[in-house]
Amino acid sequence: MTEQDPTPVDFVRQEVVADTDSSRYDGRVVTRFPPEPNGYLHIGHAKSICLNFGVAAEYSGTCNLRFDDTNPEKESVDYMKAIERDVQWLGFEWTKLRHASEYFEKLYGYAVELIRGGNAYVDSLSAEQIREYRGNLTEPGRESPDRLRSMEENLELFRRMRDGEFEDGAYVLRARIDMASGNINMRDPVLYRIRNIHHQRTGNLWNLYPMYDFTHCISDALEGITHSLCTLEFEDHRPLYDWILNQLDVPCHPQQIEFARLSLEYTVMSKRKLNLLVTEGHVSGWDDPRVPTIAGLRRAGFTPASIRGFCERIGVTKKDAWIEMGVLENVIRDDLNQNAPRAMAVLRPLKILIENYPEEQVEDLKLPNHPQKPELGTRKVPFGRTLFIEQDDFAEVPPPKFKRLIPGGEVRLRGAYVIRCEEVIRDSNGEINLLRCTYDADTLGRKPEGRKVKGVVHWVSEQHAVDGEIRLYDRLFSVPNPESMNDFREALNPDSLKVLDQCKLEPSLAKAVGGERYQFERTGYFCVDAIDSSEQKKVFNRTVTLRDSWGKTARGR
């Protein structure tokens, strides 16, 4: 940074700049994003990704992607692949791809170093006893009888733990710190536990696995990380992070800095809860457009830029805060309003017949792809004698202020003519199945003389329409903070998905490919579902409504 640069926008960047200015770490900036591959990344991770990769990019540093793969029961290679894909999709490139499991041998060596220095011991207390001995916030802990075990015996037992001589839970390795510490994390925390289980990368090589607190600081140090950015719940672990590194001869002692995690209303974010939603079938998968995973947001139609923009907007602070879902929705709405081409799609079709329109005639109307961006060009939209309009755009008995079509009334078809409804035709069940209409041939792109037509509705020509399925997604939960409930699943919104499978799309949408985003005139922003769309049927997911109507009226229709 030069002196003319403005003050960095957040406290993390301020600390980084202070360190580079004072040549701490020789002015280097090295960060990492360290997910555990036990689920898909969510929007909270995006905050951490934008921060870690962003800081590295802004201060000529580097950023690693490191899988914290020390819990083989819950982790998988598939999750790793999904995580890599999501980080790249968000627009970031890691300098090195690392796995904590690559350091197992070195970590083991450091553990031996701790034992030799009298800083760790093998304990035979059970997990339950350890908890009991630990004490609590008001009472100090008690020392384990094994705390006095000789160094030789500790080394021998630790080697035998490695060699797979013991059952799970028979022993653990603990740091020898202070059972009376005011910080419970410092009361001889467990560093290694026995797990006779296969690891997705190291196979059956290891029968014991290091704990997070031991693995994380050493992995950071081995990678030469300068600033180890993590969320606030690790603030109480920082003394342990520093203690471990201070006992050992490591190449670097990173600075841990904690920031507030993202909490978003009307959703859940912990991977454990998301996993439950997936495995119990409340959603279709980790990429269901209703869940706040990166994969879900992508499938819903969010752009990488909108997610990065969201992270920038919420900023990085030291204080936990809840963010309204509307903030996220507004960012993608602004993005798509500016960038998504327009198209017409009728969600719930009502057929109209324009009796005085020549029978065989078809007119190719040219409609702009974007009203404010002529450079995006135009598209051909065929107009014919029978069309579909939205059921909601007609009312036999109109509510007050209804500006659309009524019996005997007029409305403008977007980009086309003014029509009048002459007669309502019903089927044998009494349902309206056709409106007989007439059109005013003089009104193509012109106002009719001597009368005012207020409403404009969208439409699709019957003969040219493409069949489509449209999925209207709404918030997954009906309360702002489902995590506060006894069982968060009780707050699931039963109407979070409506599937409309009789939709009629304008023919230009036949060539729309998976992931493409559109504004459907008057109905919202939609994205082609890359997985379920076929040649026969296009499937569109609603990304967001046109306006922020949520809370005032129902978000869906």
Q: Are strands 460-461 and 456-457 parallel, antiparallel or unpaired?
A: unpaired
Q: Which residue is nearest to Mg ion (CB)?
A: 36
Measured distance CA(404)–CA(410) in Å, rounded: 8
Among 183, 270, 317, 378, binds ligand ATP (CB under 6 A): 270
List CB contacts of 391: < 8 A, sequence separation 6 or more: 348, 349, 350
Instruction: State yes or no: residue 146 binds Mg ion (CB under 5 A).
Output: no
- Torsions phi, psi for 160 (to 5 deg): -70, -30
Q: Are strands 97-99 and 262-264 parallel, antiparallel or unpaired?
A: unpaired
Residues 33-72 that bind ligand ATP (CB under 6 A): 34-36, 44-45, 47-48
Min dist CB 311 to ligand ATP, Å, is 9
Question: Judged by CB under 5 A, which stretch of 32-40, 225-233, 321-329, 468-476 contacts Mg ion?
Answer: 32-40
Cβ neighbours around 269 below 10 Å, total: 18
Measured distance CA(69)–CA(46) in Å, rounded: 19
Partner whose footprint covers residue 316, from Mg ion, ligand ATP, none (CB < 5 to 8 Å by kind): none
Q: Which is nearer to ligand ATP, 162 or 271 (CB)?
A: 271
Q: Which is nearer to Mg ion, 36 or 178 (CB)?
A: 36
Instruction: State yes or no: residue 483 binds ligand ATP (CB under 6 A).
Output: no
Min dist CB 59 to ligand ATP, Å, is 19
Question: Judged by CB under 5 A, which stretch of 31-39, 55-63, 192-200, 353-361 contacts Mg ion?
Answer: 31-39
The C-alpha angle 313, 318, 320, rounded to 5 degrees, equals: 75
The site that binds Mg ion (CB under 5 A) totals a number of residues, namely 1
Measured distance CA(474)–CA(173) in Å, rounded: 48
Residues 271-290 that bind ligand ATP (CB under 6 A): 271
Partner whose footprint covers residue 44, from Mg ion, ligand ATP, none (CB < 5 to 8 Å by kind): ligand ATP
Residues identified as active-site: 36, 261, 271
Q: Which is nearer to ligand ATP, 488 or 525 (CB)?
A: 488
Residue 295 burial class via C-beta count within 10 angstroms: exposed 0-12, middle 13-18, buried 19 and up:
buried
Q: What is the helix (H) or strand (E) element at residue 33, kind and residue range?
A: strand 30-33
The C-alpha angle 425, 428, 429, rounded to 5 degrees, equals: 100
Q: Which is nearer to ligand ATP, 143 or 235 (CB)?
A: 235
Encoded one letter per residue, x for contact with ligand ATP by CB under 6 A and - for no contact, window 250-269 reads: -----------xx------x
List CB contacts of 60: < 8 A, sequence separation 6 or more: 29
Question: Residue 357 has which token pair?
Answer: 């329109």
Partner whose footprint covers residue 34, from Mg ion, ligand ATP, none (CB < 5 to 8 Å by kind): ligand ATP
Partner whose footprint covers residue 47, from ligand ATP, Mg ion, none (CB < 5 to 8 Å by kind): ligand ATP
Measured distance CA(142)–CA(361) in Å, rounded: 91
Q: Which residue is nearest to ligand ATP (CB)?
A: 44
Encoded one letter per residue, x for contact with Mg ion by CB under 5 A and - for no contact, window 82-111 reads: ------------------------------
The site that binds ligand ATP (CB under 6 A) totals a number of residues, namely 14
Tokens 């109209």 appear where?
352
The C-alpha angle 99, 102, 108, rounded to 5 degrees, equals: 125
Instruction: State yes or no: residue 242 binds Mg ion (CB under 5 A).
Output: no
- Listing DSSP states for 274-306 in one string gives HHHHHHTTSSSSTT-TTS-BHHHHHHHT--HHH
Side chain identity at 377, as an amino acid letter?
Answer: G
Q: Which is nearer to Mg ion, 36 or 312 (CB)?
A: 36
Min dist CB 45 to ligand ATP, Å, is 5
Min dist CB 256 to ligand ATP, Å, is 11
> 301: closest CA among 276, 277, 329, 326?
329
Residues 214-243 that bind ligand ATP (CB under 6 A): 230-231
Among 15, 24, 27, 36, binds Mg ion (CB under 5 A): 36
Min dist CB 28 to ligand ATP, Å, is 20
Min dist CB 243 to ligand ATP, Å, is 20
Min dist CB 259 to ligand ATP, Å, is 7
Contact present, 172 and 193 (Cβ < 8 Å) = yes
Measured distance CA(86)–CA(295) in Å, rounded: 7
> 524: closest CA among 540, 500, 537?
540
Question: Residue 145 has which token pair?
Answer: 């009888």
Three-state SS sequence of 433-481:
EEEEEEEEHHHCCCCCCCCCCCCEECCEECCCCEEEEEEEECCCECCCC
Instruction: State yes or no: residue 342 binds ligand ATP (CB under 6 A).
Output: no
Encoded one letter per residue, x for contact with ligand ATP by CB under 6 A and - for no contact, window 123-142 reads: --------------------
Partner whose footprint covers residue 183, from Mg ion, ligand ATP, none (CB < 5 to 8 Å by kind): none
Min dist CB 51 to ligand ATP, Å, is 8
Q: Which is nearer to ligand ATP, 34 or 254 (CB)?
A: 34
Q: What is the helix (H) or strand (E) element at residue 503, kind and residue range?
A: strand 497-505
Question: Residue 123 has which token pair?
Answer: 């304990």
Measured distance CA(386)–CA(394) in Å, rounded: 16
Query: Site residues (CB under 6 A) for ligand ATP?
Result: 34-36, 44-45, 47-48, 230-231, 261-262, 269-271
Query: Site residues (CB under 5 A) for Mg ion?
Result: 36
